[in-house]
A and B are shown apart, each in its own frame.
Chain A
Amino acid sequence: MTFETEFAREPVAPAPRARSIFRRRTTRVIPGLPLTLGYTLFYLSALVLLPLAALALKAAQMSPAEFIRVISDPVVTASLRLTFFASTTAALINAVFGLIVAWVLVRYDFPFRRLFDAIIDFPFALPTAVAGLTFASLFLKDGWLGGLGPRVVAGVNALAGWLGAGPLLNPTALDWLTFPYTGQTAGIVIVLVFVGLPFVVRTVQPVLLEWDPEYETAARSLGASPLTVFRRVIFPEILPAWVSGVALSFARAVGEYGSVIFIAANIPGKSQIAPLQIVTRLDDFQYAQAAAIGVVLLAISLLVLLVINGLESFSRRHERAAV
């Protein structure tokens, strides 16, 4: 079954390329490229690079040996470990649930959808200290959820007493209802999930909104199961946005301070996050030490973000190369 037809040469659209600043013949959308470029570089330098350099400079006031001593202090390493463990866990939880939330908000119509959609931005707007206080009053031992077991027991027994019976429940009978992680790592993870959720939702949502369902129909017409459609057609499309959302959520969690200190027990070496260590050092006027911890925090964050981005571009290449 062969036949040949001579097809005319049609122009193929060239892939868009980043414009070199040295080639200036293309039309300009924003006039005065050198000006805007210069402004951008100045702005980035003044607001981001300069403070970071100052931070590094401050840390560099210490001798290398002293620097090592500060950052290898068990209290500091414990706080760094806690920060990165809690942030990673929170980012992973947000990765899954943020994606689901974005999906549901875009794909389904339900009562008060727009209200829920607006609520997603709350963690952005709410001062994180307020969020921390709220979570603490809910989840700590004497909070509504934190002390749920004893509260229910007291309630049931009071009702029984009112009805004329003796105490029905042993005071510890419902302790399993008590939120078991008060003041521990789980509490920190919960606030970090709260703080980081909008990043994932708000990065994935626009991509899903723009998504043309025709691709799904095409995949289904080729016999693909819903799972295959998601895995091979939809997911690759939202992957870059999703990854950057997760990375943002992670980065936000690493730097989070206000909400965490209200829910964590803040015991040095046990439940103290790295930013709190920095604040503690500052309170002691140990500026260089604080800067040293800050530098380590930054370096690890940078590394993690680089790895995440690397993984993303690797997976893209891999998907493309898979023949």
Chain B
Amino acid sequence: MTIEIRDISKSYGQNQILRNIDLKINSGELVALLGPSGSGKTTLLRVIAGIEQADAGSGPVLFDNVDVSDVDLGKRRIGFVFQHYALFKHLNVFENVAFGLRAKPRRERPNEAHIREKVQSLLDLIQLGNMAQRFPSQLSGGQRQRVALARALAVEPRVLLLDEPFGALDATVRRELRRWLRRLHDTIHVTTIFVTHDQEEALEVSDRVAVMNGGRIEQYGPPQEVYEKPASAFVFKFLGNYNLFQGRGQGAGGEALVRPHDIVIHRDADAAGEGAQPGVVAHIGFGGPVVKVELETSDKSRVDVEVTAPTFRDLDLKRGERVFFALRTQQEYAHDFVI
């Protein structure tokens, strides 16, 4: 199912959270809403779900080109996974998943055998088939997350909305679960939107990423495009580490941004080529596959460089050594005065 929202704004009192948002999501896509806290991503998700109402004067929320702005949350046929899962504590895993089926009006309610079958197949899908009788308090965070997902899927939603789905989990479980989510999505093909503040998560999992800032969408595109051609300095900075060179290059008054891995270190000036600058190795941070080298330039500013472990071995850098560094690529942006 396609989702389209047009000119959505939302304020709480004086505080404007969303500013004239337009967004279009294709059927079966997996889209990430990425942004720092307070950027409005969760509010946008809740407006799409129907939990929050957009301000008067906003445009419509369209599901398959049908305006659902006035359709009640319960009737929108969405599956919402809450950040803290909101599993019903007094119900076991089976009953949590069955909740939506049992809550249907009598005419539409499937019979008991059907409910059992459906819930069991969902539990198998989330690989918790043997935990049907457990209560939420007896599950780990990742398991709760999957139960919440199964509960949302039980009512066969037209769209799946996930609010910081992995926010409350440890790093390892997060990584594992997001790959699992991607594969799940490839299996069931439900149009899915998830909110995250973790760029790595958004870039790795989604088909398209909408980077949000200050209630606006700064850039919307496939992960590679967003990462390689950031539309604004904000997007560049938000998506990873960077070095900032004030007013360098041709764009006077602007800023040039360079990723640490887009800087090359050479031992001699000739190999470094034209435009290479000298620097002194100030610190070496060994981080496994990537080594973080901090260089101090002649004007005492610091430059972060990331080199792969084999390159680092070849260079055989030591602290205090003089080297030369060159920029592979750089992005220039005019100063934005938006706070």
The chain A residues found within 8 Å of chain B, CB to CB, are: 1-5, 7-8, 10-13, 15, 212, 214-215, 217-225, 228, 232-233, 236-237, 316, 319-320, 322-323
Contact = CB atoms under 8 A, between A and B. Distances in A.
21 contacts: A2-B187, A3-B183, A5-B179, A5-B183, A10-B140, A10-B170, A10-B173, A13-B137, A215-B88, A217-B73, A217-B80, A218-B82, A222-B100, A223-B74, A223-B100, A225-B74, A232-B102, A233-B88, A319-B91, A320-B135, A323-B92
B88 A12 contact: no
Contact of A15 (B137, B141, B184): B137
A218 B86 contact: yes
Interface string B169-189: 010110010011001100110
Given A5-B179, A7-B180, A13-B137, 6 more contacts: A15-B138, A219-B103, A222-B99, A223-B104, A228-B103, A232-B88
A7 B95 contact: no
A319 to B, nearest CB: 6
Contacts of A221: 49, 51, 73-74, 78-80, 152
Contacts of A225: 74, 103, 105
Contacts, number: 110
Nearest to A233: B88
Interface of B: 49, 51, 73-75, 77-80, 82, 84, 86, 88-92, 94-95, 99-100, 102-105, 124-125, 127, 132-133, 135, 137-143, 151-152, 154-155, 170, 172-173, 176, 179-180, 183-184, 187-188
Among all A-B residue pairs, the 9 with the closest Cβ atoms:
A222-B100, A10-B140, A224-B103, A218-B86, A221-B80, A236-B90, A214-B86, A1-B187, A223-B74
Contact of A1 (B94, B135, B139, B188): B188
Nearest to B78: A221
A214 B84 contact: yes
A280 B94 CA distance: 59
A232 B99 contact: yes
Taking chain A's interface residues, is the majority helix, strand, or loop, or is none over half, making it mixed?
Answer: loop
A134 B172 CA distance: 68
Given A218-B86, A220-B73, A8 B172 contact: yes
A70 to B, nearest CB: 47
A233 B139 CA distance: 20
A99 to B, nearest CB: 18
A227 to B, nearest CB: 10
Nearest to B124: A2
A218 B188 contact: no
B103 A223 contact: yes
A220 B74 contact: yes
A11 B82 contact: no
A222 B135 CA distance: 19
A84 to B, nearest CB: 32
